[in-house]
Homo-oligomer: A and B are copies of this chain.
């Protein structure tokens, strides 16, 4: 198991700069007052392909040699990694095959197709996804870019918190903690990779849906626990940790907090109403856990990663 290094993250940042946005950091005086802390939202919903996952996907795609790239790339993903990899492959002019659960949001599937990605659907479980993927990979021979358990991907995701730390200078503030959602653990691992070197005193809090709390239970048990097919409105957070992301979580994460489905939906709606930005359910989990645990966050300066904004607008959870 190759564990990505800080230098890998720095190299990734150079490599992907032409293909990603330096996304803005937004604040809301209303949410600051409501939460009792000072929140700095790193808005990866404004990222290319609508999600932070384009960082890791672009790093993997553009790190390939020409010979490797010639066979294209492939992956399985609930959505944002699929469309991010399709975007990156499209920018490099290579093919991209993705296995997606048939229940993935239509907005994500159609965005994959829009970038030229080829979708094979599977049943919505980790087992089904990996089985169908094995067939697709055998057929195409493409380079497998795992959605999170891949050092190239984690190094790419680490560029997000590096930018956030730099952007905090514009606010004349330093952070006490960063809160990010946890599903497979790619964003959290990248955050650990970057902060352990650049800002080791900044706490790292992972936020997870109660209904898909394998990371929470792993963290409390001290060993890796996986669920096969959890069900949550936070469609990007259904996947389990794997060995590489577990390595980062167990060594660097301060705590994992969970939120219920209704708390996630309320926080999503509140963000839409007050910040006027479209965020997907997954990235409402951090705000939900902040509002639920005021004693943890009181008076702190808190970075929150808004991981993506790809939502089926015809199917909103509060309607």
Give residues in A with beta carbon < 8 Å to B.
24, 26, 45-46, 50, 107, 269, 272-273, 275-279, 309, 313-314, 316, 318-319
Contacts and interface: CB of A to CB of B under 8 A. Distances in A.
A46 B275 CA distance: 7
> Which of A273, A276, A313 has the most chain B CB atoms closer than 10 A to its own CB?
A276
A49 to B, nearest CB: 11
B309 A313 contact: no
A14 to B, nearest CB: 22
B309 A269 contact: no
Contacts of A309: 276
Contacts of A24: 24
A276 B314 contact: no
Identify the 9 closest CB pairs spanning chains A and B, nearest first: A276-B309, A276-B278, A45-B276, A272-B278, A46-B276, A277-B277, A272-B313, A276-B277, A319-B319
Contact of A314 (B26, B46, B275, B318): B318
Contacts of A318: 313-314
Nearest to A50: B276
Given A45-B276, A272-B278, A316-B319, 4 more contacts: A46-B275, A276-B277, A276-B279, A276-B309
A313 B273 contact: yes
A87 B107 CA distance: 37
Contact of A313 (B46, B275, B316): B316
Contacts of A314: 318-319
Nearest to A271: B278
A309 B272 CA distance: 9
Nearest to A26: B46
A58 to B, nearest CB: 16
Contacts of A26: 46
A314 B107 CA distance: 20
Contacts of A46: 26, 275-276
A46 B318 CA distance: 23
A273 B50 CA distance: 9
Which of A26, A107, A272 is the most central at the interface, judged by chain B CB atoms within 10 Å of its CB?
Answer: A272
Contact of A278 (B50, B107, B278, B319): B278
